[in-house]
Amino acid sequence: MDPEISVVIPVYNEEESLPRLFAELYPVMEDIKRSYEIIFVNDGSHDKSFAMLYDFQKQHPHNVRFIDFNGNFGQHMAIMAAFSKVRGQFIITLDADLQNPPEEIPKLIKQMDDGHDVVGTRRKNRHDPLFRKVASKAVNNITNRITGLHINDYGCMLRGYNRRIVDIIAHSGESTTFIPALGQKYAVNPIEIFVAHREREYGTSKYSIFRLIRLNFDLMTSFSLSPLQWVTMSGIGISALSFLLVAYILIRRFIIGSEAQGLFTLMAIQFFLTGISIMSLGIIGEYIGRIYKQIQKRPRFVIKKIWEEENNDKQAD
Ligand code: UDP
Ligand code: MG
């Protein structure tokens, strides 16, 4: 029989965190007293994570399933793979690094029992480096503006989704995506609650600043065309201003004569405009890149094998 709750956890080189995750998660799930499964996705780890997940699955064959990827496809694709295999009606996503304490899971389940199809979360007293907190606040605001979504904390991955939403997400065909944003987009009755947040005690963040920026571009281009519209609008604005400037200089030339000064002003303006042009090309490029990836139709992730009760030896498709 299918379990009621599925917990989905992406894992990428988390050997330091996994023992404590197992130790904390298991009692929490047992205490809920409802049937559940835990689905780990090994996202191409090259430390001992695979062996640890393998052992844990063997110890708890009824409740634990484990999807092993053929390489590193990213956190969101790891979750996507699990979403395509879940059996529960309520699905909880959780990071492996224990920054989201498993004790908060019952809170999310309660909201889902109350009929919320997406339970978003915000990190209470977020424990991350200050610069990441400030940057992510700014990025959250910009992202909400661009995407038209209302999510206060895009980075908090301890979230709940009911099965209908998960099925919609799993069937979305985008080559790169951002799971919480998709959830929010299709939610009918979402809610956002505060959850505790801890410092990462073991291992290091798997996101470099460059990867975070990339993720955010993916998020924006996946949900909105407004950056392109800004490019067009700023082009129109700059052209209008330049036209006025040309008209002014032309008139001035007839009245006062030609001007030779102001070289550095001209350079400054030129640098500024060149900057805008390169940025605009970049924005257009982001969309072209998306189209390019999309038309390649390569698999978004490749599963090497699924370890689970019925088919511990079955090769995955
Ligand atoms: N993760 C993953 N694949 C990746 C990067 C991260 O599966 O390519 C997992 C990672 O193991 C963790 C979660 O995604 O369970 C969040 O990663 P991390 O804690 O490094 O992100 P942060 O909390 O710093 O945003
Ligand atoms: Mg983390």
Instruction: Specify the pLDDT at position 187.
Output: 97
Distance 22 CA to ligand 2 centre (A): 16
207 ligand 1 Cβ < 6 A: yes
Tell me, using a 6 A CB cutoff, whether residue 44 lines ligand 1.
no
- pLDDT on residue 176: 85
Give residue 317's pLDDT: 46
Highest mean pLDDT among 25-34, 143-152, 211-220: 25-34
Nearest CA-CA partner of 219 in 229, 231, 211, 208: 211
Ligand 1 close to Cβ of residue 11 (< 6 A) = yes
C-beta 74 within 6 A of ligand 1: yes
Question: What is the number of helices (H) and of strands (E) in the chain?
Answer: 10, 8
- Cα 200 to middle of ligand 2, angstroms: 6
Query: Is residue 314 scored above 60 in pLDDT?
Result: no
- Ligand 1 mean position, distance from CA 177 (Å): 15
Centre of ligand 1 to C-alpha 11, Å, is 7
**pLDDT value, residue 311:** 55
Predicted pLDDT of residue 316: 46
Q: Is the CB of 102 under 6 A from ligand 1?
A: no
Alpha carbon distance 196, 126 (integer Å):
8
pLDDT per residue as tens digits for the range 213-240: 888 888 999 999 999 999 999 999 999 9
The CA-CA-CA angle for residues 74, 141, 135, to 5°, reads 65
Residue nearest to atom 13 of ligand 1 (CA): 95
186 Cα to the center of ligand 2, angstroms: 25
Which ligand is in closest contact with the Cα of 132? 1
Q: Tell me the best of 68, 97, 132, 158 to mutate to test the pocket of ligand 1, counting ligand atoms within 8 Å of each CB and taking the most.
A: 97
Q: What pLDDT, on a 0 to 100 scale, did the predictor assign at position 18? A: 96
Q: Taking all residues of the chain, what is their mean pLDDT, rounded to a whole number?
A: 92
The per-residue pLDDT for range 70-121, each reduced to its tens digit, is: 999 999 999 999 999 999 999 999 999 999 899 999 999 999 999 999 999 9
User: Maximum CA pair distance of the chain?
Assistant: 90
Inform me whether the pLDDT recorded for 267 exceeds 50: yes
Measured over the CA atoms of residue 197, residue 201, residue 207 and residue 212, the dihedral's sign is: positive
Nearest CA to ligand 1 atom 1: 75
Q: Which residue's alpha carbon is at the smallest distance from atom 14 of ligand 1?
A: 75
Q: Where are the alpha helices (DSSP H) in 193-225?
A: 209-223
Q: Is the CB of 205 under 6 A from ligand 1?
A: yes
Would the CB of 153 count as within 6 Å of ligand 1?
no
In short, whether 14's Cβ falls inside 6 Å of ligand 1 is yes
Q: Where are the beta strands (DSSP E) in 52-95?
A: 64-69, 90-93
Q: What is the pLDDT of residues 274-284, one digit of tens each?
A: 999 999 999 99
